[in-house]
Chain A
């Protein structure tokens, strides 16, 4: 045979099927591009050099893995669409005398062409856009960067390798399919007579029950810790239920509608309902996938955007003041002693030397311990903790005992307490449910009042468990007897801290300088011993780390969101196209039987609308029910700005819906042109 024959055949094959191949090749290019950009950023030395960049690059290298795995699954999936449509062509070649070996050579050429275009185009686009991504990243990290364009050979190599393997696997899979089938089957593979789907009531019912259970779980969970434990359970339940409902539930609904004669035998319902049954059987899984992808995109986007916007909030709750001193003492007599006064004056001195003044001073002592709460008793006897189980976790509290005088001073209140009374304050929107509170087997104390707020000390932001502040009238008298309690490792259970912090008006550089000077000055006082140490932290110094983490998550959220969006769009496009081809002959028949063009258009419209917007609406409902959980999870990141979260979530949904409508417009156009390609039906 002539040289280049197979290549030519392969090229014609792609060109003739451009309605199918162009989106596929574009997707491949998009995937390669995305992968390269993520890989590039995770290697970029520019990013490594910026404070917080290392955190971000770690997150991004995780992202590389996610994009890689997703690309594999997704390209396989879209390729199966292509193959289903082209089998007929291959069957014809086979019958005309091309052996399977020859077919394999054609397919090999096709794969090579697609791989070349995809890798070439993808890498070019990736390199072009990587600079923009890098600038965006650096901007997120609040750093500075030059405008030179760089290549990352390591990233290019990774992309070539990964996608080379993916294309090879796809080719092998196609060859396997061609090899296993006979020509007649290839010829007819497109329209195998299909049985009408049976309504699977059990599956539909189970789906409904699981979904209801997941929703119930999502809205009833109280504490953030429980949310953390149950979130993934709920997610998996929702995914399973979505698949069940889309695959089985939809058929059940259609069947019920078909039973209602008065409804079914109406011009506007007749054709739609009966073809929906088949459509849902074939595409239920695809639609469920779209729905889940949409939900994931939305959850990811809204939470990462929220985290990023709320970075300052998070920093503030982790570091309540610009400069924070956490003094740990072991001797109760060290509390409120001269030593503390020394530190106070030292701080004032360092600050005023830098031409600044201390504002908004935070200054109080606590006795802190973690305890398991049961019926208003904080379990202090560690032997009880041996049979501790995971689900007790929601009853574990970080307890802070604080003198009432400190509370009154900081909050500007004038509360008084009897010796057997306490005030309490809880964090992470967890409620304390009892009227009394007791430490182990000691006398219970009456809860006089739950106060609405208190000056946080940053410890709460570091832990997933909620904190319980107990304000007591006589600190020493209450704490003294508790000091003898030891934990499982024979360490003293109670830790005593003195928190001292203040805000500064100067910028980050001055704050960092003050922090360093203060640390040095404290070291020179000779106060520090094994029983008395000081931890000095500043918000300014940690800021870049926070932006690295949250900015990285934000960027990754947008990136994966884009990839998933791509995927959802493409699945929808192929669905429409392949359905268009299937419906072509059906609508031709209907025209012959006397259906007007307007009726056909109406019927098509109602079907497309249902199929298209069902996933979007369902993901909206999922999102609404996931909202309380997301809110509680974000509370773990010290983000409690409810309005921000609602706003961001709604914005994400609207932007997403806009994209969706756009895709709808494009794909339904393609669908119409295929269906009406049947022309006026000729007898």
Chain B
């Protein structure tokens, strides 16, 4: 059984006065296996963000289903949804979303504290992750004192520390310069090799070229997908570029 199953997902937004209906997702189906590193690509307005919101249980689909480890997200009670998110999903955002009132360390602890873990336990969990992400020296600093790349690494640490089943990343490199982007993508690759499943939404070809599989969304549907196979990052980069050109020029399905 796949870890994440998405079937026949459809989402229609109705404007406030019920006049216009916008179909953000038409018919999206795909699966993600344990340990996979999947990138979802698409232009603005293609429904990427809607898809991610539904995967994160922040939004409900009009029809279709999302199941994590066979458990249908729509069946989870409203009161348990936060705990479910906390225990099973890790989030990395474009804007980092670190709290400026906390040190990096406390920011990373936040989900564990919410889960009611004790300090020694949290400390133990943090040490290896901080070392892996190279932020051991920065833990006592506040977000405003560190660079964007360092903030994003702290945010990754916060996502990892709960040992989530799935990491959802929303344009994680969007606010980073190219050097920090390279470092972060390298880290994602490492984390994935350690067995962590990652699902990343992006429109950066470079970011997508680090993934094991790339899904393309257009007009609310999964239009195409590319497996890495034995390709290097550079080769995959080229393939993705070609696909995007083809999508833009309106070529038919291959």
Binding site for B on A (CB under 8 A): 193-196, 261-262, 265-267, 270, 274-275, 277-278, 586, 589-597, 599, 680-683
Interchain CB contact under 8 A, B119 and A270:
no
Point out the residues of chain B lying under 8 angstroms from A594, CB to CB. 82-83, 85-87, 111, 114-115
The answer for the CA separation of A681 and B79 in the assembled complex, in Å, is 16
Q: Known interface pairs A194-B144, A594-B111. Does A586 touch B99 (Cβ–Cβ under 8 Å)?
A: yes
Point out the residues of chain A lying under 8 angstroms from B158, CB to CB. 593
Cβ of B170 under 8 Å from chain A: yes
Minimum CB–CB distance from B151 to chain A (whole Å) comes to 12
Closest 9 CB pairs of A and B: A594-B86, A596-B82, A193-B144, A261-B119, A589-B97, A270-B113, A265-B119, A594-B85, A274-B101
CB contact between A597 and one of B82, B86, B101, B106 (< 8 Å): that residue: B82
Cβ of B180 under 8 Å from chain A: no
Cβ of B100 under 8 Å from chain A: yes
Interchain CB contact under 8 A, B91 and A592:
yes
Cβ of B29 under 8 Å from chain A: no
CB contact between B113 and one of A193, A262, A267, A275 (< 8 Å): that residue: A267
Point out the residues of chain B lying under 8 angstroms from A681, CB to CB. 58
Point out the residues of chain A lying under 8 angstroms from B97, CB to CB. 589, 592-593
CB contact between B53 and one of A195, A590, A597, A683 (< 8 Å): that residue: A683
Q: Known interface pairs A195-B144, A593-B91, A683-B91. Does A265 touch B122 (Cβ–Cβ under 8 Å)?
A: yes
Interface digits, B63-105 against A, CB 8 Å rule (1 contact, 0 not)?
0000000000000000100110111000101000111111000
Point out the residues of chain A lying under 8 angstroms from B144, CB to CB. 193-195
Interchain CB contact under 8 A, A680 and B99:
no
CB contact between B101 and one of A196, A592, A683 (< 8 Å): that residue: A196
Minimum CB–CB distance from B106 to chain A (whole Å) comes to 7
Question: Can you list 10 contacts pairing A with B, beta carbon distance less than 8 Å?
Answer: A195-B144, A267-B114, A270-B109, A589-B97, A589-B98, A591-B82, A592-B91, A682-B53, A683-B49, A683-B168
Interchain CB contact under 8 A, A196 and B142:
yes
Q: Residue on B with the closest CB to A270? A: B113
Minimum CB–CB distance from B25 to chain A (whole Å) comes to 15
Q: Residue on A with the closest CB to B120? A: A261
Q: Known interface pairs A586-B101, A589-B99. Does A266 touch B113 (Cβ–Cβ under 8 Å)?
A: yes
Q: Is the interface of A mostly helix, strand, loop or mixed?
A: helix
Q: Residue on B with the closest CB to A263? A: B119
Interchain CB contact under 8 A, A590 and B142:
no
Point out the residues of chain B lying under 8 angstroms from A593, CB to CB. 86, 91, 97, 110-111, 114, 158
Interchain CB contact under 8 A, A683 and B99:
no
Minimum CB–CB distance from B74 to chain A (whole Å) comes to 15
Interchain CB contact under 8 A, B56 and A683:
yes
Q: Residue on B with the closest CB to A681? A: B58
The answer for the CA separation of A371 and B141 in the assembled complex, in Å, is 69
Question: Assuming A591-B82, A593-B86, A596-B79, what are 6 further A-B pairs, CB within 8 angstroms?
Answer: A594-B86, A597-B82, A683-B53, A683-B58, A683-B168, A683-B170
Minimum CB–CB distance from A649 to chain B (whole Å) comes to 39
Cβ of B116 under 8 Å from chain A: yes
Point out the residues of chain A lying under 8 angstroms from B85, CB to CB. 594
Interchain CB contact under 8 A, B82 and A265:
no
Minimum CB–CB distance from B83 to chain A (whole Å) comes to 7
Interface digits, B23-52 against A, CB 8 Å rule (1 contact, 0 not)?
000000000000000000000000001001
Minimum CB–CB distance from B61 to chain A (whole Å) comes to 15
Minimum CB–CB distance from A676 to chain B (whole Å) comes to 15
Binding site for A on B (CB under 8 A): 49, 52-53, 56, 58-59, 79, 82-83, 85-87, 91, 93, 97-102, 106, 109-111, 113-116, 118-119, 122, 142, 144, 158, 168, 170
The answer for the CA separation of A586 and B107 in the assembled complex, in Å, is 12
CB contact between A683 and one of B79, B93, B113, B114 (< 8 Å): that residue: B93
Interchain CB contact under 8 A, B58 and A682:
yes
Q: Known interface pairs A267-B114, A599-B114. Does A193 touch B100 (Cβ–Cβ under 8 Å)?
A: yes
Q: Known interface pairs A196-B101, A262-B119, A683-B58. Does A270 touch B110 (Cβ–Cβ under 8 Å)?
A: yes
Minimum CB–CB distance from B90 to chain A (whole Å) comes to 9
Minimum CB–CB distance from B88 to chain A (whole Å) comes to 10
The answer for the CA separation of A651 and B56 in the assembled complex, in Å, is 55
Minimum CB–CB distance from B91 to chain A (whole Å) comes to 6
Q: Known interface pairs A596-B79, A596-B83, A683-B53. Does A278 touch B101 (Cβ–Cβ under 8 Å)?
A: yes
Point out the residues of chain A lying under 8 angstroms from B87, CB to CB. 594
Minimum CB–CB distance from A361 to chain B (whole Å) comes to 76
Minimum CB–CB distance from A11 to chain B (whole Å) comes to 26
Interchain CB contact under 8 A, B99 and A590:
yes
Point out the residues of chain B lying under 8 angstroms from A261, CB to CB. 119
Interchain CB contact under 8 A, A267 and B86:
no
Point out the residues of chain B lying under 8 angstroms from A597, CB to CB. 82
Point out the residues of chain A lying under 8 angstroms from B58, CB to CB. 592, 680-683
Point out the residues of chain A lying under 8 angstroms from B53, CB to CB. 682-683
The answer for the CA separation of A682 and B83 in the assembled complex, in Å, is 17
Q: Residue on A with the closest CB to B142? A: A196
The answer for the CA separation of A195 and B145 in the assembled complex, in Å, is 9
Q: Known interface pairs A274-B101, A274-B102. Does A595 touch B93 (Cβ–Cβ under 8 Å)?
A: no
CB contact between A274 and one of B91, B106, B115 (< 8 Å): that residue: B106
Minimum CB–CB distance from A141 to chain B (whole Å) comes to 56
Minimum CB–CB distance from A179 to chain B (whole Å) comes to 28
Q: Residue on A with the closest CB to B102? A: A274
The answer for the CA separation of A275 and B99 in the assembled complex, in Å, is 10
Interchain CB contact under 8 A, B100 and A595:
no
Point out the residues of chain B lying under 8 angstroms from A262, CB to CB. 118-119
The answer for the CA separation of A193 and B151 in the assembled complex, in Å, is 14
The answer for the CA separation of A681 and B81 in the assembled complex, in Å, is 13
The answer for the CA separation of A534 and B86 in the assembled complex, in Å, is 92
The answer for the CA separation of A590 and B83 in the assembled complex, in Å, is 12
Point out the residues of chain B lying under 8 angstroms from A275, CB to CB. 101
Point out the residues of chain A lying under 8 angstroms from B119, CB to CB. 261-262, 265
Minimum CB–CB distance from A281 to chain B (whole Å) comes to 10
Minimum CB–CB distance from B201 to chain A (whole Å) comes to 9
The answer for the CA separation of A541 and B168 in the assembled complex, in Å, is 88
Interchain CB contact under 8 A, B82 and A595:
yes
Q: Known interface pairs A595-B82, A596-B82, A597-B82. Does A265 touch B101 (Cβ–Cβ under 8 Å)?
A: no
The answer for the CA separation of A486 and B59 in the assembled complex, in Å, is 97
Point out the residues of chain A lying under 8 angstroms from B79, CB to CB. 596
Point out the residues of chain A lying under 8 angstroms from B111, CB to CB. 593-594
The answer for the CA separation of A597 and B83 in the assembled complex, in Å, is 11
The answer for the CA separation of A681 and B87 in the assembled complex, in Å, is 18
Q: Known interface pairs A592-B91, A594-B83, A683-B53. Does A265 touch B109 (Cβ–Cβ under 8 Å)?
A: yes
The answer for the CA separation of A270 and B170 in the assembled complex, in Å, is 27
Minimum CB–CB distance from B80 to chain A (whole Å) comes to 9
Q: Known interface pairs A680-B58, A683-B170. Does A194 touch B114 (Cβ–Cβ under 8 Å)?
A: no
Minimum CB–CB distance from B154 to chain A (whole Å) comes to 13
The answer for the CA separation of A277 and B111 in the assembled complex, in Å, is 21
Q: Residue on A with the closest CB to B122? A: A265
Minimum CB–CB distance from A265 to chain B (whole Å) comes to 5
Point out the residues of chain A lying under 8 angstroms from B101, CB to CB. 196, 274-275, 277-278, 586
Q: Residue on B with the closest CB to A585? A: B97
The answer for the CA separation of A589 and B107 in the assembled complex, in Å, is 11
Q: Residue on A with the closest CB to B91? A: A592
Minimum CB–CB distance from A681 to chain B (whole Å) comes to 7
Interchain CB contact under 8 A, B113 and A265:
yes
Q: Which residue, of B59, B97, B102, has the highest number of chain A Cβ atoms within 10 A?
A: B97
Q: Which residue, of B49, B58, B87, has the highest number of chain A Cβ atoms within 10 A?
A: B58
The answer for the CA separation of A637 and B59 in the assembled complex, in Å, is 71
Minimum CB–CB distance from B77 to chain A (whole Å) comes to 12
Minimum CB–CB distance from A600 to chain B (whole Å) comes to 10
The answer for the CA separation of A547 and B101 in the assembled complex, in Å, is 57
Point out the residues of chain A lying under 8 angstroms from B93, CB to CB. 592, 683
The answer for the CA separation of A274 and B110 in the assembled complex, in Å, is 12
The answer for the CA separation of A626 and B110 in the assembled complex, in Å, is 44
